[in-house]
């Protein structure tokens, strides 16, 4: 059944107006995508992600100690075939989670979201890192910085410095301040900002406005916080 923009925005507001730990990040990302694909069935894609996490869990459980990330990467980028879309980086489909799951192509933020969810499904604790211009993830227990856009490679200090230099930040000693974890709301803001910029650039006001409404909803949820719990 096709959803209206108003229904989809209301769903998104409901999903993000919760305690930070209770925000279902892939569900909210799929609600963003539903603005473009009104027939999108969110539950089907959530089940697909859960299945990927279960399969990854079996692969990681069989790995030698210390080889868990390697096993996860082999599954995500080898078996499943996810990769960064270098040929059409600015294609808006790279920002819609349903398209990323279908096409196995994305940009750093959406591939990081997929990676985080699959990792969580197999018991690995990771967090998003809002690196300038190139979203990455961190494995919490060991602190490794992982780049899902580039096949899950582990980044060292010099790798991070090169990424910063590509964004106009040339001082290697500045790296530490750019590798802080971000919240789920902040990830959604970044995804929406990508889409808002795209639709502004192509002057598509009709498509632009609903995404801006979602951004405003996130601003309001950050400003006011979720409603208090009644004990």
Residue 216 located in a structural domain? yes
Residue 53 located in a structural domain? yes
C-alpha closest to that of 69 among 137, 129, 133: 137
The confidence band for 227, taking pLDDT boundaries of 50, 70 and 90, is very low
Residue 148 located in a structural domain? no
- For 50-107, write each residue's pLDDT tens digit: 999 999 999 999 999 999 999 999 999 999 999 999 999 999 999 999 999 999 999 9
What is the distance between the alpha carbons of residues 218 and 6, in angstroms, rounded to a whole number? 16
Residue owning tokens 């990927």: 52
If one counts the domains in the chain, the total is 1
Angle between helices 25-34 and 108-121 (to 10 degrees): 140
| Predicted model pTM | 0.92
* Whether 55 contacts 121, CB under 8 Å: no
The confidence band for 167, taking pLDDT boundaries of 50, 70 and 90, is confident
Residue owning tokens 């930070």: 20
What local confidence, expressed as pLDDT, does residue 220 receive? 75
Residue 164 located in a structural domain? no
| E strand or H helix that includes residue 136 | strand 136-139
Residue owning tokens 């959530």: 46
Residue 39 located in a structural domain? yes
Q: Choose between 227 and 183: higher pLDDT.
A: 183
Residue 85 located in a structural domain? yes
Residue 117 located in a structural domain? yes
The range of the structural domain enclosing residue 56 comes to 5-124+183-224
Residue 63 located in a structural domain? yes
pLDDT over threshold 50, residue 229:
no
């Amino acid at each position: 059944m096709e959803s209206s923009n108003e229904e989809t925005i209301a769903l998104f507001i409901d999903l993000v107006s919760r305690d930070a730990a209770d925000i279902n990040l892939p569900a909210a990302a799929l609600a963003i995508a539903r603005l473009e694909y009104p027939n999108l069935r969110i539950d089907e894609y959530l089940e697909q992600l859960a299945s990927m996490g279960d399969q990854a869990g079996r692969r990681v459980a069989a790995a030698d100690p210390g080889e868990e990330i390697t096993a996860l990467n082999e599954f995500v980028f080898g078996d499943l075939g996810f990769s960064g879309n270098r040929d059409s980086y600015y294609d808006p489909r790279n920002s819609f989670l349903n398209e990323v799951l279908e096409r196995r192509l994305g940009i750093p933020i959406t591939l990081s979201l997929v990676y985080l969810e699959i990792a969580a499904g197999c018991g690995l604790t990771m967090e998003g890192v809002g690196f300038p211009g190139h979203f990455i993830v961190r494995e919490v227990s060991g602190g490794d910085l992982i780049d899902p856009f580039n096949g899950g490679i582990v980044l060292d200090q010099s790798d991070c410095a090169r990424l910063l230099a590509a964004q106009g930040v040339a001082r290697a000693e500045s790296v530490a301040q750019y590798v802080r974890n971000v919240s789920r709301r902040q990830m959604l803001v970044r995804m929406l900002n990508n889409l808002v910029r795209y639709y502004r650039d192509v002057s598509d006001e009709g498509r632009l406005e609903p995404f801006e409404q979602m951004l405003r909803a996130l601003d309001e949820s950050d400003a006011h916080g979720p409603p208090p719990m009644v004990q």
